[in-house]
Structure 1
Amino acid sequence: MNESLPTAPKANRKERKSKNPNALSGPANFLVNGFFWIYSAACVLPLLLVIIVSFTDENSILRNGYSFLPSHMTTFAYEFLFKDWHQLVHSFEISLFVTVVGTIISLFVMALYAYPISRPDFPHRNFFSFFMFFTMLFNGGLVPWYLVYTRMLHLKDNIWVLIIPLLVSAFFIMIMRTFFANTIPGALIESAKIDGAGEFRTFLQIVLPLSLPVLATVALFQTLGYWNDWFLSMIFISMPDGTHLQNVNLQYLMYKTMLDIQFLTSNPTALAAIAAAGGNVSIPQESVRMAMAVVGIGPIAFAYPFFQKYFIQGLTVGAVKG
């Protein structure tokens, strides 16, 4: 009997050691999971509603409003949107080219700028850092900016005018500089020098492979910026005479289509002229707006999973690590 007495305190100590001090109690764990379920639903349900409304009959929307369970569903909005499918496909190709090529080139250019100013042995790092930071506070204005691209660079109606203005972002350069300075060990660069590697080879074969988190984060934001941009098409791409496809991206095409629909639906004279000419005056407004949103966000929604692996790590650049 005396030999069995010390075993009880040992068992209690083992139970205390095995218990995780950061573990949540049952009710707390239920509340946390419930909160995130509700938050996730609040993010997903609006997107689901947009998709459902895009397949809802226009008259049903006017009678009952937006609904997750519409009384009548139809594909008329997509049929209306894809009537001019040649222009839609052409604008999609332009958006895809601008997004892919612009993101790749901008990443390379910004990394080439951020890496030298992150090196403490670069003698002009403070000047170039201030030069980049200064552009975050002041700019030359819209008119000089427009004249530079149209009169000096002669890029009006050129597809590269949709890429070059968004190539460099001072904010992203500062993020890259912070990552290079805090994450890339100086001893690693010194050892590469000792082994005979030049600056460009060190940058390509050592620095960039170690910088995938920040590169993926910046690439995601640049991809969203290029894909969602419509302002550059409006400013620099002039409208043809109707015999050629418009060299505008998908977002501006959607924006212009929506403006045309709003003009026709709010102008009785235009509707009467269309009807007199034998045209179709049945123009969906709410459903086609949602169909445009689905067409516009559909492709870019598939880009996030490719960046998700590095996205969270890249967002914590410069944070205090435990």
Structure 2
Amino acid sequence: MRRRLTVTLPDRAGRRQAPRLSAGRLAVHFGLLLCALAFLAPLMLVVSASFSSEKGISEHGYGLLPREFTTRAYEYVMKDPSQLVQAYGVSILVTVVGTAASMLIMSMLAYALAREGFFARRALSFYVVFTMLFSGGLVPMYILMTRYLHLRDSLLALILPYIVVPWSVLLLRTYFRALPSSVIDAARMDGAGELRIFAQVVVPMSGPALATIGMFTMLTYWNDWWQGLLYINDDSLNPVQLWLYRIITNVEAISSNPALAQATSAPIQSLRMAVAVLAITPIIGAFVFLQRYFVRGITVGSVRG
């Protein structure tokens, strides 16, 4: 005799309903939307002004939409595209190599400082903190880089000054100390050495912290023009920020002289904004790629292990 299989469907009361947005939630979302628009508005103004004509900006001011749309500012900057491409290449090379080397050295130093059994932990910690409080100054640094290390007109002069940032080392040390010690002890009992524990256990568990510090390091290298101004005289080694800085300096010199300002065809106001757009566009792309790590990594250093 066959048995009939009976299936009982849940009633409407037992069904899972979608959460409803309360008035408080709507107010919070609306406030966050206003904050997002407030943060985006200056960027939109810069982009809009870079595509505005000089006459439109002078007569109507800045706006969220371009005033008399034109690309003259970008055409002026890109009169010689090879210089822009070369400057971008130098900045990308310095940023990639500098960030990779800096993250390797700082993370290994932070791991050593986070290990309780390391005999030189206190001495190294004092050395890192001391460099945050006291500095030799610009003149000794310049003498060291040019006379002793002979790094004038060298890409190493753009990389070495930011290779170790003490504050980032302390943040990584705090994050490493908060990692579960049981996992590290288990790897050590299995015969893993410190280098293998660091590479195969600590680094994979510290993705958010490393991505966050790496993003800050990348920003430091990409936005730097000061080291190039001090140590680079060869135009072929100019990073993009220094190249754009010199364009802005020339434009400001022209604008300060009424006779030159009337004689030149450079769109001075929109040119400043076009330079800003060209400088920040690549790093915005990198931020979009790494932003998912910021949710967990932005609080690195706020937890004590």
For normalisation by structure 2, the TM-score amounts to: 0.89
Q: 3-state SS of the aligned residue for 1:303?
A: helix
Specify the alignment match of 2:269 in structure 1: 286
Q: 3-state SS of the aligned residue for 2:237?
A: coil
Report if the CA contact (8 A) 2:45-2:63 is conserved.
yes
Specify the alignment match of 1:317 in structure 2: 300
**In 2 relative to 1, CA 59–135 (structure 1 residues): closer, same or farther, beyond 3 Å?**
same
Specify the alignment match of 1:74 in structure 2: 70
Amino acid aligned to 1:193? R
User: What is the Cα deviation at residue 161 of structure 1?
Assistant: 0.8
Specify the alignment match of 1:110 in structure 2: 106
Q: How does 1:171-186 map to 2 (within 5 A)?
A: 171-183=167-179, 185-186=180-181
For residues 119-152 of structure 1, give each alpha carbon's deviation from its aligned partner in whole angstroms, at most 9, with x where no partner exists. 1111221111111001000011110011111111
Identical columns (%): 40
Q: Does 1:58 align with 2:54?
A: yes
Report if the CA contact (8 A) 2:53-2:270 is conserved.
yes
Specify the alignment match of 1:7 in structure 2: none
Q: Does 1:158 align with 2:148?
A: no
How many residues align? The count is: 290
Q: 3-state SS of the aligned residue for 1:253?
A: helix
User: What is the Cα deviation at residue 320 of structure 1?
Assistant: 5.5
| Residue of structure 2 aligned with 1:262, choices 233, 252, 255 | 252
Q: 3-state SS of the aligned residue for 1:302?
A: helix
Once residues 98 and 60 of structure 1 are traced to their aligned partners in structure 2, the CA distance between those partners, rounded to angstroms, is 38
Once residues 66 and 291 of structure 1 are traced to their aligned partners in structure 2, the CA distance between those partners, rounded to angstroms, is 14
Judge which range, 216-225 or 81-90, deviates more. Answer: 81-90
Two-structure CA RMSD over aligned residues (Å): 2.2
Specify the alignment match of 1:221 in structure 2: 216
5+ residue gaps, structure 2: 1-12
For normalisation by structure 1, the TM-score amounts to: 0.84
User: What is the Cα deviation at residue 309 of structure 1?
Assistant: 2.2
For residues 205-254 of structure 1, give each alpha carbon's deviation from its aligned partner in whole angstroms, at most 9, with x where no partner exists. 1111111111001001001111111111111112x5xxxx4411111111
For residues 89-118 of structure 1, give each alpha carbon's deviation from its aligned partner in whole angstroms, at most 9, with x where no partner exists. 111101111111111110000011110110
Once residues 143 and 120 of structure 2 are traced to their aligned partners in structure 1, the CA distance between those partners, rounded to angstroms, is 31
Specify the alignment match of 1:3 in structure 2: none
Once residues 105 and 141 of structure 1 are traced to their aligned partners in structure 2, the CA distance between those partners, rounded to angstroms, is 24
| Residue of structure 2 aligned with 1:120, choices 116, 119, 127 | 116
**In 2 relative to 1, CA 259–290 (structure 1 residues): closer, same or farther, beyond 3 Å?**
same
Q: Does 1:296 align with 2:292?
A: no
Q: 3-state SS of the aligned residue for 2:64?
A: coil
Q: Does 1:235 align with 2:218?
A: no
| Residue of structure 1 aligned with 2:288, choices 305, 311, 316 | 305
5+ residue gaps, structure 1: 1-13, 276-280
Report if the CA contact (8 A) 2:178-2:303 is conserved.
no
Once residues 236 and 169 of structure 2 are traced to their aligned partners in structure 1, the CA distance between those partners, rounded to angstroms, is 34
Amino acid aligned to 1:134? F
Once residues 269 and 315 of structure 1 are traced to their aligned partners in structure 2, the CA distance between those partners, rounded to angstroms, is 51
Report if the CA contact (8 A) 2:103-2:210 is conserved.
yes
